[in-house]
Amino acid sequence: MKNTNTNTIARLTSLLLLTAIMVGGTALPARAYSERPAKRAGKLSADLKERTHKAGATQETVSVILQLSGTESNRLKGFLNRNGIRVKGSFRNLGALAVELPASAVEELASFGEVAYVSSDNAVAASGHVTATTGTDAISTQKVTSTIIDAFGLTQTIITETSLDGKGIGIAVLDSGIDAGHLVFSDGNKSRVLYSRDFTGEGRTDDPYGHGTHVASVAAGGGKIGDGAYKGIAPKAQIVNLRVLDSRGAGTGSGVLGALDWLLANHKSYNVRVVNMSLGTAAVSSYRDDPLCQAVRRLVDAGIVVVAAAGNDGKDAAGQKQYGRIHSPGNEPSALTIGASNTFGTDARGDDTIASFSSRGPTRSSWKDEAGVVHYDNLIKPDLVAPGNKIVDAESDNNLLVTQNPHLDAGVSTHENRRMMYLSGTSMAAPAAAGAAVLILQANPYLTPNLVKAVMMYSAQQLKGFNTFEQGAGQLNVEGAVRLAKIVRKDLTKIQTGAPLLTESMPTPETTIAYHTFSWGQGLVLGHTFATGENLMMKYQGIYGAGILVSDGILVSDGILVSDGILVSDGILVSDGIMVSDGRLMGDGTMFCGAGILVSDGILVSDGILLGDGILVSDGIMVSDGILVSDAFVQAQSAMINGDDTPHMQQ
């Protein structure tokens, strides 16, 4: 740990004291979180700029993602047609290209006016009883009330029961492929995997690695094995298999962009309402520039819930907690970012904890202004946590993970297409949340992605002894989220901020699972802070609309957090700190650190003092400076294989 002088500590302490709890709107001059106080320096991501400078005048070839702000000019087309430069992929729906070119030509590429940003085509790695403990079993059927007028002109009320199982709703799984012939995906004589496409270049859509099949079955596996013991969250959902990780579980950012570009153009054909991304790469560039984050935003704006794994880098090599390790695209504010909880194999949730490997916030992706000052995004992530430790689900035939680690086979069956395996990671937690999103949309198909996130966060369970950077709004509670979603009004496009949101009175904010009753956290993660209050659900908030970030409408002025009264109505309590929960309502507990460090203008961020370099925040736990541990792929495999006892990278 570095030594810290008294002045440095005093500066940090002063910043922690800048924040205050505010309710409702205010006349104070304020700026939105999403605004940049200074002009960005250049168009190159920090890692790409460093790499090109090291390469100098050599002809080292680099692969980049080029984001466009307009139509390609003839000059840019001519540049891209030069010898030694190759366009590897075109993602027209996302306004991006994948380009391979000499490192010495990167800065010239960035100089074109229609080029918005250039970043490295980074490597992407996989991130690696559930229905009972998440509360899914409690909502397997729902009562639907309808009113009709009979032949005699009399009004009759009819109550029918219908299953909540995901039927008719599509979920896209971006992963290492899916063994579509596995029994968990069977729907009579056909597979629920409706469409498969490869974006790795290997020309296959099955799952020789073994990760994608397991992930897909957590979200949407059927209950035909083990008398339903290994059923997924949405067991009749339709599955779209977009293979972006190869036979060894590795992929590229351009491969993922190719899948997202295809999905943006074709999602309506398969009624895809939810996307699961149990994968990630280092979050270097701010979410405002990162091409994966920008692509996720396009899908969310199109009405699709995008679920991303937080990453498995919650511990360092010495087994100590570390913060600031959320990966891309989990650092994107519009994504539903999921960390992992450990249920210890029990249905009751009184003993549940955060898995030690689960990546903690805040996000440490950044941008640099013209003065050379680094501005970190510092968003609170994850949004939620879900079970992700030693999960048993579908095993693809002859996959690499089990071949190299035979103990991963769960011993459920010896027959082809019936085997099950163990895996751990936020990779397993994310599809649990994705399956829950499918059920929520089946219960109320009119919800925006922001409202899906809101009902999931509001109904989540706060885990005692863990702070907001570790658990976000808390642990996934499918029963509560579905119960709440069912009574949200369906004419959302016609109402304004502050109008009644529910068609009935607020349901009792608690859930009972395995004879254990717990309170809902009743709060939402909102960018650099969180908010609580019944009006988050009783009244419509403008932040739930399409094309808006849930964090919009919470402003900062001189370090004070306030709601603007337009996107966030009065009666909402905006927190001034990050809390260690007492296991009840979100916001109850003890202070971990002040939210002022997250909304800083960069004065302290720029010199490496804030959230790193040996500064101890609150309870003595060091908050990481966001530098990523190397060899992510090796650690990723260790994460999935060893469960909660090994440091994890994105999986």
> Half-sphere exposure of 504 toward its Cβ, with a 13 Å CA cutoff?
8
Q: Is 125 helix (H, G, I), strand (E, B) or coil?
A: strand
How high is the pLDDT of residue 80? Answer: 94
Q: Is residue 264 part of a domain?
A: no
- The secondary structure of residue 568, as a DSSP letter, is S
The angle at the Cα of 473, spanning 468 to 475, to the nearest 5 degrees, equals 105
Residue carrying structure tokens 């440095």: 8
pLDDT tens by residue, 125-139: 766 467 777 878 788
pLDDT tens by residue, 203-237: 999 999 999 999 999 999 998 887 778 899 999 99
Give CA–CA dist 476/606, Å, rounded: 36
Q: Is residue 413 part of a domain?
A: no
Is-contact 613 625, C-beta < 8 A? yes
- The secondary structure of residue 592, as a DSSP letter, is E
Give CA–CA dist 323/224, Å, rounded: 40
Q: Is residue 82 part of a domain?
A: yes
> Half-sphere exposure of 278 toward its Cβ, with a 13 Å CA cutoff?
41
Q: What is the pTM of this model?
A: 0.83
First-to-final CA distance of the chain = 29
β-pairing, 193-198 with 123-126? unpaired
Strand partners, 194: none
Q: SS3 letters for 69-83?
A: CCCCCHHHHHHHCCC
Torsion from C-alpha of 121, 177, 363, 589, nearest 10 degrees: 180
Q: Domain residues for 70? A: 46-121
How high is the pLDDT of residue 607? Answer: 33
Is-contact 64 101, C-beta < 8 A? yes
Q: Is residue 98 part of a domain?
A: yes
What are the tokens at 522?
Answer: 């009743």
Give CA–CA dist 220/239, Å, rounded: 8
How high is the pLDDT of residue 263? Answer: 98
Q: Is residue 398 part of a domain?
A: no
Q: Is residue 148 part of a domain?
A: no
Residue carrying structure tokens 């920090």: 46
What are the tokens at 281?
Answer: 């790469």
| 268: phi then psi, degrees, rounded to nearest 5 | -70, -30
Query: What is the crossing angle of helices 211-220 and 426-443, to 10°?
Result: 30
Helix segments in 6-152, DSSP class H: 6-16, 46-55, 74-80, 106-110, 130-133
Q: Is residue 110 part of a domain?
A: yes
Q: Domain tally for the chain? A: 1
Q: Compute CA distances 235 → 231, 300, 302, 422, whole Å.
A: 7, 24, 25, 19
Q: Is residue 152 part of a domain?
A: no
Residue 95, amino acid: G
In 3D, which of 301, 297, 279 has the Cα closest to residue 288? 297
How high is the pLDDT of residue 156? Answer: 60
- The secondary structure of residue 123, as a DSSP letter, is E
How high is the pLDDT of residue 502? Answer: 97
String of DSSP letters for 431-458:
HHHHHHHHHHHHH-TT--HHHHHHHHHH
Q: What are the average pLDDT values for consecutive 10-residue runs of the chain, which has 651 residues?
A: 35 25 30 51 86 74 92 93 92 93 91 93 72 78 54 59 86 98 93 97 97 97 84 96 96 96 98 97 94 97 98 89 93 98 89 94 91 89 95 94 93 90 94 97 97 98 96 97 96 92 95 93 95 95 94 79 86 90 95 79 36 31 29 44 43 38
CATH number at residue 97: 3.30.70.80
